[in-house]
Chains A and B, each alone.
Chain A
Amino acid sequence: MTLIKQKVNKYNFEYFFKEYSEELFYHSMAIVNCNDVAKDIVHDSFIYVWNKREELDASYSLKAYLYRLVRNNSLNYLRHKLVERKYSSQIDDLAIDLNNNIDDKEVIINKVQAALEQLPPRSKEVIEKCFIGGMKYKEVAEELGISVNTVKTHISSGLKFLRTRITKEMLFFFAIFK
C-alpha cells in the first residue's frame, strides 16, 4: 500500500476533501457526538491545511496530518467542551512517523467492524445501546430483559476482544494525544 504524498494546491484540494472528509467526519462524530461540531472541525482542519499548504512539505502523508488535526481538535473539544476551537500548536511539532501507513486506517476500521461482527449478536446490541445510545446498564437490562450483570459481561467481553484485535501499530490511531 502506498501513501499519497502530495502538496496541496488549488487543483487537488477538492479531490482531497472529497476523498477524506467523510471518514474524518465520522471519526470526529465518534468523539464529539454533535453533527455541527464535527462538520466544523473537519472544515477547520481542511482550512488549516489549505492556509499552510506552502509550508507543509510533500513528504508527509496528508491523510495522516488531517487525521491528527481532526482527532486532536475533537479530543480538545470533548475535554474542554470548547465553543471556540483553537488549533493545537503541537501539530507542528509532532513528527509523523511515516511507517504508520494511514491508508491502513480503512483496514483498522474493518478490523473493529470484524470484531463487532464476531461478537455474539447480544453483545453487539448491548454495545450499541450503551456506546451510541448512552443508555445506563439498568436501562439496557430492562429493555432487553436480562440482568445488569449480563449487560456488564457483554460490555467486558466486547472491550477485551477488541484489544486482541488491535495490534500495537494500530495504537497510533487510538492514542489520545496529550
Chain B
Amino acid sequence: MDYNKVEDISQFLNDKRKLSQSEIDEIFNNDEELVSDIIAYREVLMRDKHEITYDIKEEYSRLHSRIARQKRFRILKQLSVAASILLVFASSFLVWNMNKKQEKPVISKVEAKKTVESKSKATLTLADGRKVQLVDNKVQISDKNVKGIVNDSIKGLQYDKSIKVDIKSDQLIYNTLKVPVGGEYSLTLADGTRVILNSDSEIKYPIAFGKKNRKVFLKGEAYFAVTHNKKKPFIVDVNEAEIEVLGTEFNISAYEDEKEMYTTLVNGSVRFTTTESNESQILTPNHQIEYNKETKTSTMKEVDVYEFIAWKDGSFVFKSLKLEKILRQLRRWYDFKVVYHDEELKDYRFRGVISRDMNLTEVMKMIEESAGVKIVVKEKEVSIYK
C-alpha cells in the first residue's frame, strides 16, 4: 500500500490539498479501488455527521421551482423560434409542442384535479330515502325543504354552512354519499370540513351539525381536512372505533373486507378509541394506528404518510405490500376479479407506484415484471400464475 497516495487522495477529497490535472488523472486511472474505498467510508461517515443535513422538503420545492422556470423558458424559446417562421406553421408548431414536456410535477399537498373525469358516479341518499345520482354539473339538491346543497363538477358536493334546519332536540338530518368501485368523490360538509371519498366507500353525515359534536359514519376510505372547532369535536365512527379530531388532516382506511383498519395522521391531532375496549390513543403527525379487527389489537407506528394518502392525488404507492392486499386495493379502482392459480402467490411482495390514469393492462404488466409472476387479463378477470 502506498500510504502517501492514500494521504494525498484523502486530502484532495477533503479540499485540503490541490492536485494538478495530471496528478488527478493518474489517480483516476491507476487507483480506482483506493478512491472508491475512501469514498465508501466517507459516505457512511458523512451520514452520521450532524453538520451535513439534507432538507428533503426544501430541496423538493427548489427543484419544483426550477422545473417550472424551465417550462417557461421553453415556451419563450419556442415563441422566438416560431416568430421567425410563417404564422401558419408557427401555430401548429406551438400546439404540437404544448404536450407532455410542458407538464410540471404535481406537489402532493396541492389538491389535484380528478384524473379520470368519467369515474365519478356517486350516489347521494337523502334523508327521506330518495337517491340522487351525482353527475358532473352544477345542481341544487333539495332535501326536506332544505336549501343549500350544491353539486359542483370540480368541487364535488357542498353543504352550505347557512343551512338552517328545524332540529327538534337531537334530531339530525342525515345524508349518505356512496362512491362505487372505480369512483372517487369530494364533499364539503356544513362546517367546511373537506372529505375526499375513495372508491367503494360510503359516508353518512348530518346536513347541519348538532350542538354537541360533529359526528360522521364511514365505511371504506376517506381523507379528511377538518376545520378547527374546539367546542365541537369532529368524530368519525367506523363501527369498530371512533376517531376524534381537532382541526386536522388525516386518512382513514376502514374497508369491511380488510382485516386491518388504518388511521394515518398528516397534521394536527387525533384521538383513536376502539368500541371494544374503550381505550384511547392519541396520534401525532406522521404516525399511524393499525387496528386488527380479528385480534382486536392496535399498533401505532411512524410512517411515510404519502404512501397512505397518495390515492387522493392519483397514485397508488406500495412499499413491499403483499400481492393479495395490493390487488384488493386496485380492485376498488379498476373493478376486476382475481384468480390466483397458486395460493403462495398471494404472499408475493411488490413495491411500486401506480398512477390511476394507467389502464388495467398496463398496471398488471408492471406488477408482472416487478413481482416476478405471470398475469393474464381477460375482460374483467385477472389470473395470476407463477
Contact = CB atoms under 8 A, between A and B. Distances in A.
A30 interface: yes
B333 to A, nearest CB: 14
B218 to A, nearest CB: 25
A16 to B, nearest CB: 8
B14 interface: yes
The binding surface of chain B is classed by DSSP as: helix
Interface residues of B, number: 73
A6 B103 contact: no
A65 to B, nearest CB: 15
A163 interface: yes
B28 A79 contact: yes
Interface string A150-167: 001001101100110010
B44 A109 contact: yes
B66 A4 contact: no
B108 interface: yes
Contacts of B369: 5, 58-59
Contacts, number: 191
B46 A159 contact: no
Contact of B366 (A5, A135, A178): A5
Contacts of A46: 63
B49 interface: yes
A77 to B, nearest CB: 12
Nearest to B35: A176
B105 A13 contact: yes
B52 A29 contact: yes
Contact of A21 (B56, B104, B107, B310): B56
A58 B14 CA distance: 38
B10 A134 contact: yes
A15 B352 CA distance: 10
A45 B75 CA distance: 22
A97 interface: no
B36 A30 contact: no
B42 A15 contact: no
A112 B15 contact: no
A85 interface: no
B96 interface: no
B37 interface: yes
A10 interface: yes
B46 A26 contact: yes
A25 B15 CA distance: 18
B41 A50 contact: no
A30 B21 CA distance: 20
Contacts of B40: 30, 112, 162, 166, 174
Interface string A136-162: 110000000000000010011011001
B36 A174 contact: yes
Nearest to A170: B40
A159 B34 CA distance: 8
Contacts of A174: 33, 36-37, 39-40
A21 B56 CA distance: 7
Given A14-B106, A33-B14, A175-B36, A116 B355 contact: no
B258 interface: no
A104 interface: no
B62 interface: yes
Contacts of A47: 63, 66-67, 70
A135 B6 CA distance: 11
Given A21-B59, A27-B43, A31-B39, A130 B10 contact: yes
B45 A128 contact: yes
For the complex of A and B, 7 pairs with smallest distance between CB atoms: A134-B14, A30-B43, A13-B105, A134-B16, A174-B36, A30-B42, A12-B353
Interface of B: 1, 3, 6-7, 10-11, 13-17, 21, 24-25, 28, 32-47, 49, 52, 54, 56, 59-60, 62-64, 66-67, 70, 100-101, 103-108, 112, 115, 304, 306, 310, 313-315, 317, 320, 349-353, 355-356, 366, 369-372
